[in-house]
Each structure stands twice: as structure tokens, then as C-alpha cells.
């Protein structure tokens, strides 16, 4: 069974009715759901790869979404001011402006691919490893990409030490 099949099977068992031995439809009990959710596997190179992929996609797209979303909204407001003499506010208008920019839409799609990679990581690794590792490494990737884009000043020594400890802890956890 592939990792994608595992994710699909977990989704079906957790959220949809199952059949008993007599072919009658029934909902899985809470203990069955818990047993399925707590089924763990050892941390393998495959799970490490999926965790790193999810963390990178989430972390790298955060600064991009911030940058491209702001650019798209500012561009839309400037166009409205030229046309009407004033720009109206609104969340829906800002969302439409953001998604009309291909750069924002591409960054958002990459972020969602990170969520898909995270689901696969959950299916091939232990939840107690995948969740903290992916979320911790996301911060390191966000800091690195934000710095590469020139958005953030270099972190202070304490912040760099904290990021190093997060990364080290994640790798120690995956190695254990």
C-alpha cells in the first residue's frame, strides 16, 4: 500500500461508515478511530523526506504569500483610485485581488502542496514525530527564505541560537 493509499484509507475509516461482518453499515467506534490514529511506524528516510518537503513548502511560501499578497492588493487599490478617485475596502476585494495575481496563486498552490505532503508524512511516520518536526522546521525555512528575499533583518544571536536548537531538536527527534 502506498502512502497516498494509507491517507485515503485513514480518511475513509475515520469519517465514513464502515460495514460489519454481516454487511450492515456502522460508524467506527471512538476506540477504533483512536487505534487507527495512533498506529505508528518507525521514522524512515521516506518519512524524513516528506516531513522536510512539507516544512519547506510551508516555510518558503509564507514570505512569498506575504509579499505577493501585499503587492496585489496595493496594485488593485492604485487602479481603483485612478478609476474612481478612491478605493473601497473589503476582505473579498483583497482576496480577489490577491488570487488574480499569478505569483500569489502559485505560492498559495505550493503552500497547499505542503499540506498534501504533510498528510503523506503523517501516513508514513509517527504523529508524535511528524507534527513537531514539520512545524518546527517550518520556522527555520521561513526565516531563511524571508532573509533571502530581504524582508527580514538578520536575526539576533539569541534568535539564531533558538532556530539552531529547533532544527537540532527536530533532527534528534527524527533520528530517535
What would the DSSP string read from start to end of 100-168?
HSHHHHHHHHHHHHHHHHHHHHHHHS-HHHHHHHHHHHHHHHHHHHHHHTT-SPPPPHHHHHHHHHHHH
8 A C-beta contact, residue 72 and residue 98: yes
25, β-bridge pairs: 19
Higher-confidence position of 53 and 25 = 53
Closest to 167 (Cα-Cα) out of 137, 141, 138, 143 = 137
Sketch the domain layout of the chain as residue ranges.
1-39, 43-68+107-175
Cell of 136: 518546527
Sequence-separated (6 or more) residues with CB below 8 Å from residue 4: 120, 123
For the chain, what percentages of helix, strand and coil (3-state, to nearest 5) are there? Answer: 75, 0, 20
Beta strands in 5-107, from DSSP E residues, in sequence order: 18-19, 25-26
Cα torsion 144, 148, 153, 157: sign: positive
- Give me the percent of the chain exceeding a pLDDT of 70: 59
3-class DSSP assignment, residue 18: strand
pLDDT at 24: 67
51 band by pLDDT with thresholds 50, 70 and 90: very high
26 band by pLDDT with thresholds 50, 70 and 90: low
Confidence check: pLDDT of 142 > 70: yes
pLDDT at 52: 92
pLDDT at 9: 52
Confidence check: pLDDT of 40 > 50: no
Helix 45-84 crosses helix 157-175 at what angle (to 10 degrees)? 140
pTM attached to this predicted model:
0.62
DSSP state, residue 22? T
Amino acid at each position: 500500500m502506498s502512502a497516498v493509499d494509507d491517507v485515503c484509507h485513514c480518511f475513509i475509516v475515520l469519517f465514513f461508515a464502515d460495514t460489519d461482518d454481516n454487511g450492515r453499515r456502522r460508524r467506527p467506534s471512538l476506540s477504533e478511530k483512536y487505534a487507527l490514529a495512533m498506529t505508528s511506524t518507525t521514522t524512515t528516510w521516506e518519512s524524513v523526506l516528506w516531513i522536510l518537503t512539507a516544512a519547506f513548502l510551508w516555510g518558503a511560501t509564507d514570505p512569498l504569500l506575504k509579499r505577493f499578497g501585499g503587492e496585489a492588493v496595493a496594485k488593485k487599490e492604485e487602479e481603483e483610485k485612478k478609476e474612481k478617485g478612491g478605493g473601497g475596502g473589503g476582505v473579498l476585494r483583497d482576496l480577489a485581488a490577491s488570487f488574480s495575481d499569478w505569483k500569489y496563486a502559485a505560492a498559495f498552490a505550493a503552500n497547499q502542496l505542503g499540506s498534501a505532503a504533510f498528510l503523506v508524512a503523517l501516513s508514513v511516520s509517527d504523529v508524535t514525530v511528524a507534527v513537531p518536526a514539520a512545524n518546527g522546521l517550518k520556522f527555520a525555512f521561513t526565516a531563511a527564505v524571508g532573509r533571502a528575499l530581504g524582508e527580514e533583518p538578520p536575526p539576533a544571536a539569541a534568535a539564531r541560537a533558538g532556530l539552531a536548537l529547533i532544527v537540532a531538536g527536530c533532527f534528534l527527534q527524527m533520528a530517535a
